[in-house]
Structure 1
Amino acid sequence: MRFFGCAALTAALLSLLGAPARAQDVTLTSRDGAVEISGVLIGFDGEFYRVDTIYGPLTLDGQGVVCTGPGCPDMEAHVARFRLSGTPVLGEMLMPALIETYADQRGLAVANEHDLFVLSDRETGHRVAEIALGLVSTEEGFADLLADAADIVMAAREPRPDEIERLREAGFGDLSDPARRHVVALDAIVPVVAPGHPVQHLAIEAVLGIVTGQITDWADLGGPDAPVTVHLLDRQNGLQQAIALRLLDGASPTPAARRHKDAAALSAAVAADPLGFGLTRFSALGDAQQLPLIGTCGLRQVATRQSVKTEDYPLVAPLFLYTPARRQPLFVREFFDWLDTAPAQLVIRRAGFVDQSRDTIPFGRQGDRLAQAIAQAGPEVPLSELQRLVAALAGAERLTTTFRFREGGSSELDAQSFGNVGALARALEAGLFDGRTLIFAGFTDGDGPAEANLGIARLRAEAVRDAVEAVATAADLSRVTLRVEAFGEVLPIACDQSPWGGVTNRRVEVWIR
């Protein structure tokens, strides 16, 4: 039984009863009759009432109150209704596929009525949920949420500071809070050219030079003496906005760029243009050829399913669902929980995106990284440190679950890594690592003294381990060993001198033995 407020608040709320009744007016009375709350019904999700009162919106547990008035819903005939709005990258294929698979697993029939998915009980025909999909853009999705025309935003980027502020001021909560986002699938920004192009790799600095118009001829990059044709996405495209935020850092793209509606169209145009260059999605490569990124130290980085999962590739672009700071219907909460399951991850992979299921990488496949580390060994990182790493990790396997931090040397986990905390905690709770040893291995970039970096690596590895333990409240941690190792700048993945090298090298890997 739930009780609300104190005697003074009760008296104030009772004064609402004299107001004229409207179509959605309700009165919610605690089951002991001590408290009554009146207002206009905003919504009912089958569990909780949301009522607009003179004190603002209140959410009340339906099991603790009795509803009276013209706005009271039929408890038995409740239909979960919610609206998603945002990027077509999610809305055109992936979300419909996820909705249909989820419905099938729950034994529900699905009908698509002009981007309205109606889920019904197969035996009774009773409607269980109505899910509307608005295919606009990431920017318009956040605007729809602000206008209360959407309940969930499908986003190809994180919200900008101005969007966060407007939504916070309007009472939708802080969308920069990790609790407000859910990473649905992984993707990446990749540079592409036509098949057979003579240029076989590019430095990130060269990519930026092409996109901003500072490099205009392929001859400057070891290619033919011919102008570069730049292909970019429309300015309203979420991936293009992510490129502007993450890569261009305030610089303007060349006005000569040819613009395309979506990544698939851009990839097709570049594949047919012998002098073309573009930035597209890893999931939409088509016939275009991906160009590896190369640093001044010679390390190459290519987007693959594995390197996107581990974020060893520096330009990962997750796809998000954003929710406001209000209680979602039970159906939505259960659907979000299901998105982390193996069947959902299989749907994501079949749709062409990178899923978030855990893979393992044997120690024996670390040859390139170890060779590079040996080549760069010196006074700061002696061979004895490499020998210590080999002794600690030999015979273990690396999980693709990796933790990285936001730019600028921050100790705050990035969006993908924050989701990894919960995923690893759930695996511990399920007993998937019982009898095994998990090694949280901390690494840094090469900026600063090696001894200090070793300490930083250990602190970050301990912080990640502690975060996972704190979330895994239902796990029996006596059945698994959680160990911390710190290796500092011993095993670089990218060149520190490149713009993204330091960010890529600052990480906590998880190894299992």
Structure 2
Amino acid sequence: MNAFRAALCAALFLVCGPGCGPVPAAAQDVTLYSRDGTIEIGGTLLGYDGEFYRVETIYGEITVDGSGVLCEGVGCPNLDTFVAEVGISGSATMGRVLMPALLEAFAAREGYDIRREQVEESYVLYSLSDRRSGEDVARFHFHVTNTDEGFADLLADEADIVMSLREIRRDEARLASEAGLGDLESANRSRVVALDAMVPIVSPTNPVHEITVLQLAQVLAGRIDNWEKLGGPDAPITVRLRDSASGLAQAVEDRVLAPARLPLRVDVERHPDNLSLAEAVAGDLLSLGVASYSDIGNARALTIGGACDFSLRAERRTIKTEDYPLTAPMFLYLPARRLPKLAREFLRFTRSDPAQIVIRRAGFVDQAPEEIPLDMQGDRLANAVTVAGAGSPEAELYRLVRTLRPMARLSISYRFESGATRLDAQSRSNVQQLAREIEAGTYDNRTLVFVGFSDGQGPHEANQAIAERRAAAVMEAVRTAAETADFSRLEMSSDAFGEAMPMACDDTSWGRQTNRRVEVWLR
């Protein structure tokens, strides 16, 4: 039986694997014949994407190249009137503004007309049609709710793509794997389409202007419950967040509270969307909220500071480089399932230069690589001088400036999961992004230097060694991912400066994790 199945695969260009999904209710029996009539496959049609049939057979689930077979049976699709159907579910922040803007730009670029239909409050249908014939070629079904619902729809086979403002959680990844959707924690199963940030906000009349991440965690947990402890009036703090199923609110718990090992206070005021959250905070002197960078309304953002005089504001460049400590990647999660050709073309478009312009116009931070000269990084250098202690020799700061002065920093950073050597989800996406740029020849005749940094715990020699190993590991990951690159056209090397340029205070586990990073510099 195995030999026969192998023969079928060779003859019909079959691709078998997990992630094809459960059998839909409308599935019907079909028979696929090779064009010379020598081989036939019977089974239940699971789907057709315009190029490939997906069939449940006695040999298991297989995918067959439609160009090599003829289909017979009541379940066979009409090849002349095929319309690609794509389900996208999840974050309202992404689904109401960002993704529709990208889809409209894609349609315009490819010469399609696009229609929008508000089917239900949380369900929007976008139909793409051929301008000459007027016939639909694709329908994108947007279920615009929250990140939790997005992953639930994926598991229920009601979505093909999840929009998420947080990383997938372990239980969600486990359930997806059990459902045959592949390893959604792997690098090729998610991508960062844009960047947002979690920004602590207050009323414009509030006298407080700065907060540390630890203080923010303590406020969210109720350990700090009076503005006087933050330098404000003697009055209680009202905490406002998005609804509990929102990816932004969950990212706050994962990225701010969890590292401090603190629970969220029970009396948090919840809001269904970013606008109502920002309006409520702006109108209440005693409120503190955590909002999306793209939508703080009339509220005022607090600067993130530190006990070591570290200070950074949420700005486009600091978010793009991930120097701002609460950067929030906007993820698309893709199961191990073949999407229709037009959907794959749309996903490729989201990484293009025109798409980055759309992202910026929509109010989010794009992923287009930028080169930042050393003289435009005053805040970073000031923090380095201010924060550096006895453990970071002055000679190392001198070497850093002397080495990096003739170079420019690339707006891509790499950080690691807490307590692990594995890159975090955004950094894994960044590996693929930089690899694509190298393959495209963007950095031909240039030198890429991967520069490692560490936290300030322990002796300088040990920190330097760890930073060197991390820089070399990231460089090798990018080299491996750039499979079609001609490395004779550019140079790649690694260097490290230990704890010489911290981005946060080392007095918290979160701060130490932030400082453990690899940057890319260009010459």
Q: Shared fold (TM-score greater than 0.5)?
A: yes
Name the aligned partner's letter for residue 317 of structure 2: Q
SS at structure 1 position matched to 2:133:
coil
Structure 1 partner of 2:3: 6
Question: Match for residue 284 of structure 1?
Answer: 295
Q: 1:227 to 1:376 in 2, by over 3 A?
A: closer
Label 1:98 to 1:181 Cα distance change in 2 as closer, same or farther (>3 A): same
Q: Partners in 1 of 2:489 and 2:36 — Cα distance? A: 46
Call closer, same or farther: CA 1:244–1:439 in 2, change over 3 Å: same
Q: Is the 8 A contact 1:181 1:321 kept in 2?
A: yes
One of 69, 72, 76 as aligned partner of 1:68 = 72
Q: Which of 174, 180, 192 is residue 183 of structure 2 equivalent to?
A: 174
- The answer (yes or no) to whether the contact 2:391–2:456 under 8 Å persists in 1 is no
- 1:31 positional shift: 4.1
Aligned pairs for 1:218-237 within 5 A: 218-237=227-246
Q: Rate the CA distance shift 1:314–1:100 in 2: closer, same or farther, 3 A.
A: same
Amino acid of the structure 2 residue aligned with 1:330? K
Partners of 2:213 and 2:256 within 8 A in 1: no
| Aligned residue number for residue 118 of structure 1 | 127
Indicate which of 123, 144, 167 corresponds to 2:153: 144
For residues 206 and 376 of structure 1, the distance between their equivalents in structure 2, rounded to whole angstroms, comes to 19
Amino acid at match of 2:477: A
How far, CA to CA, are the matches of 2:509 and 2:438 in structure 1? 36
Question: Do the aligned partners of 1:86 and 1:139 also contact (CA within 8 Å) in 2?
Answer: yes
Indicate yes or no: 2:254 matched with 1:245: yes
Q: How many aligned residue pairs are there?
A: 499
Residue among 454, 474, 479 paired with 2:464? 454
Q: Which residue of 2 aligns with 1:157?
A: 166
1:438 to 443, 448, 451: 448
Partner of 2:436: 426
Cα deviation digits, residues 79-118 of structure 1 (max 9, x gap): 1111111121111121111111101100001111232111
Is the partner of 1:187 in helix, strand or coil? strand
Quick check: 1:25–1:69 contact (8 Å CA) kept in 2? yes
Q: Distance in 2 between matches of 1:290 and 1:386?
A: 32
CA offsets, 1:286-328, max 9 Å, x none? Answer: 1111111211211012211111111111211111221221212
Q: Secondary structure at the match of 2:163?
A: strand
Does the 8 Å contact 2:387/2:505 carry over to 1?
A: no
Could you tell me which residue of structure 2 aligns to residue 497 of structure 1? 507
Tell me the CA shift for residue 10 of structure 1: 7.2
What does 1:382-401 align with in structure 2 at a 5 Å threshold?
382-401=393-412
> Which residue does 2:365 correspond to in 1?
354
TM-score by length of 1: 0.93
- Bigger Cα displacement from structure 2, 57-66 vs 134-143: 57-66
| Structure 1: unaligned runs, 5 residues or longer | 12-21
**Which residue of structure 2 lines up, in the alignment, with residue 15 of structure 1?**
none
In the alignment, does 2:84 pair up with 1:87? no
Deviation at 1:278, TM superposition (A): 0.9
Change in Cα spacing, 1:85 to 1:232, as seen in structure 2 (3 Å) is same
Unmatched 5+ residue regions in structure 2? Answer: 9-25, 119-123
Given that 1:84 and 1:151 are in contact with CA atoms closer than 8 Å, whether structure 2 keeps it comes out as: yes
Q: Percent identity?
A: 50
**Contact 2:217–2:262, Cα closer than 8 Å, also in 1:** no
Counterpart residue number, 1:507: 517
Matches within 5 A, 1:193-232: 193-232=202-241
Native 8 Å contact 1:374 1:383 kept in 2: no
More divergent stretch after superposition (375-384 vs 150-159)? 375-384
Q: CA deviation at 1:34?
A: 4.3
Structure 1 residue identity aligned to 2:33: T
* SS of aligned partner of 1:482: strand
SS at match of 1:186: strand
SS of aligned partner of 2:196: coil
Match for residue 36 of structure 1?
40
Using the size of structure 2 for normalisation, the TM-score is 0.91
**Residue 31 of structure 2: aligned partner:** 27
Q: Secondary structure of the equivalent of 2:214?
A: helix
Match of 1:14 in 2: none
Tell me the distance in 2 between the aligned counterparts of 1:307 and 1:376: 18
1:23 deviation in Å?
7.5
The secondary structure found in structure 1 opposite 2:502 is coil
Q: Secondary structure at the match of 1:192?
A: strand
**Worse-superposed segment, 243-252 or 281-290:** 243-252
**Equivalent AA in structure 1 for residue 76 of structure 2:** C
Aligned mates of 2:177, 2:108 — CA distance in 1? 37
Alignment of 1:126-137 (within 5 A): 126-137=135-146
More divergent stretch after superposition (76-85 vs 370-379): 370-379
Match of 2:11 in 1: none
Range with greater deviation from structure 2 (171-180 or 190-199)? 171-180
Counterpart Cα distance in 2 of 1:166 and 1:356:
30
Q: For the structure 1 residues 310 and 32, does the alpha-carbon distance in structure 2 shift closer, same or farther, using more than 3 Å as the test?
A: same
Residue 380 (structure 1) shift? 3.0
Q: Is the 8 A contact 1:231 1:259 kept in 2?
A: yes
Residue in structure 1 matched with residue 13 of structure 2 by the alignment:
none
Which residue number corresponds to residue 17 of structure 1?
none
Q: How far apart in 1 are the matches of 2:251 and 2:471?
A: 29
Structure 1 vs Structure 2 CA RMSD: 2.0
Residue 411 of structure 1 pairs with residue 421 of structure 2: yes
SS of residue matched to 2:210: coil
Residues in 1 aligned to 2:508 and 2:208: alpha-carbon distance in whole angstroms: 19
